[in-house]
Structure 1
Amino acid sequence: MTSREATVPAADPAADDPGTGRVAILRAARRAFTQRPYAEVTIRGIAADAGVSPSLVVKHFGRKEELFNTVADFGPAAAELFDAPLDELGRHMVVTLVRRRRETQSDPLLRVVFSLGNRDERSLLRDRFHEQVTDSLAARLTGPEPTLRAELIAGHLLGLGATLGLHREGAGAKVSPEHIADLYAPAVQHLITG
């Protein structure tokens, strides 16, 4: 990859997948780019993992660099998670995250965790996460230490995503997103509004 400043798509291409394979391709690409160096990732490997042809990957996402930029885009997830007034934001984020995980079988934010110990272009995942998630949230917060509070809120959301992934068939899988929010959102909301 030659440019860390490549254009990021405005929308999540997996948002509507009428059986086109886009969601499977995007999941495979997220795994590949967060677990291996960029140079080792191939369109063929992503296609094989997704169960589609390499030409279908290219048709939907273009070259490897464009696919990487799609994976590194947290903007659509952040927009969905932050789409509520501040006094309701904690509950909204928890309910949205749980529903999204259940609907797509993936977490909108958790992929950044797998890039924490890696270098190369994968550091772009962390940079974009800070810019599109943490900094975006900090800009909305009022009161003291908005950046610290935004980082802690992001930690809560990542922790929730990790817990739900770890206990896929546990107690959390058997209750509604609203019930999880009843228990989890007050701590998140306290960081939002104090």
Structure 2
Amino acid sequence: MTSPVGETGQQAIQRAARRAFTRQPYAEVTIRGIAADAGVSPSLVVKHFGSKERLFNSVADFGGAADQLLAAPLADLGRHMVLSLVSTRRTELMDPLLRVVFSLGNTDELALLRERFREQVTARLAERLPGEERALRAELIAGQLIGLGATLSLHRSGASAAATVEHIAELYGPALQRLIAGGTGQPPS
């Protein structure tokens, strides 16, 4: 797996942990396996994170992704979210949201991931939205972003891979913006 240029050991560990916890149940993930995937020693993983449980908790945190996704005025939020998601996928070689859907694990682990996603992404978005049905619109927006991530994963060598980030935002952003504005298509005031 290719790592982004300039990635620190801690970032490489987190990237490897995201992959491991997404592809394997928690019980099957090992510090040694994460270290090998990250290209670091197991002792470095322990130094940075202390334990597998603490590493899982850092991977189950969507706060940074939400900060990045929501860092725009409401009038431009739909476009910004698409730019942010696609840029992150291309530069950091990971999707900030998809792990909530495709992670393996027991019921408790999946429930934790989903609850953190609801708290850190969907609920924060709902708080920012104007008008009626904010929670519903936030869930639909999150679903569209996850759908975009899944589409980009499925078509890694297709037209979406060849399209510029800006062009994808031009095509996909308006649908998100209609939900942000309350279905009117007008920018929020």
- Scaled to the shorter chain, the TM-score interval is 0.7 to 0.9
Residue by residue, what CA displacement relative to the aligned partner does 1:64-101 show, whole Å, maximum 9, x if unpaired? 12111110100010011001111110000001111111
Query: What letter is aligned with 1:113?
Result: V
Corresponding residue pairs, total: 179
Partner of 2:48: 60
What is the rounded CA distance, in whole Å, between the counterparts of 2:74 and 2:141 in structure 1? 13
Q: Within 2, Cα distance between the matches of 1:117 and 1:155? A: 21
1:29 to 1, 17, 26: 17
**What's 2:113 paired with?**
125
Percent identical pairs in the alignment equals 70
1:93 aligns with 2:81: yes
Q: Quickly say closer, same or farther: Cα 1:24–1:103, change in 2 above 3 A.
A: same
User: 2:60 matched to 1:83?
Assistant: no
Per-residue CA shift, 1:142-182, capped at 9, x if unaligned?
Answer: 11110110000001100111111111121122222111011
1:138–1:149 contact (8 Å) kept in structure 2 = yes
Equivalent of 1:186 in 170, 174, 177: 174
The two structures have a TM-score, normalised by structure 2, of: 0.87
SS at match of 1:106: coil
Alignment partner, residue 102 of structure 2:
114
For the residues of structure 2 that align with 1:62 and 1:133, how far apart are their CA atoms? 26
Q: Do the aligned partners of residues 19 and 102 (structure 1) sit closer, same or farther apart at CA in structure 2, a change above 3 Å counting? A: closer
For 1:74, the aligned partner's letter is: F
Match of 1:40 in 2: 28
Structure 2 residue 151 is matched with structure 1 residue 166: no
Aligned to 1:137: 125
Q: CA RMSD in A?
A: 1.9
Q: Relative to structure 1, is the Cα distance of residues 140 and 184 closer, same or farther in structure 2, using a 3 angstrom cutoff?
A: same
| In structure 2, C-alpha distance between the alignment counterparts of 1:116 and 1:134, rounded to whole Å | 21
Task: Give the Å deviation of 1:118.
Answer: 4.4
What is the TM-score normalised by the length of structure 1?
Answer: 0.85
Structure 2 contact 21–104 (Cα < 8 Å) conserved: no
The unaligned stretches of length 5 or more in structure 1 are 1-15
In the other structure, the counterpart of 1:51 is: 39
Local SS of the residue matching 1:169: coil
Taking the aligned partners of 1:147 and 1:156, their CA distance within structure 2 comes to 14
Deviation of residue 108 (structure 1)?
Answer: 0.7
| Counterpart check, 1:150 vs 2:147 | no
Report if aligned partners of 2:122, 2:142 keep a CA contact under 8 Å in 1.
yes
Gaps in structure 2 of 5+ consecutive residues: 184-189
The answer to whether the 8 Å contact 2:18/2:99 transfers is: yes
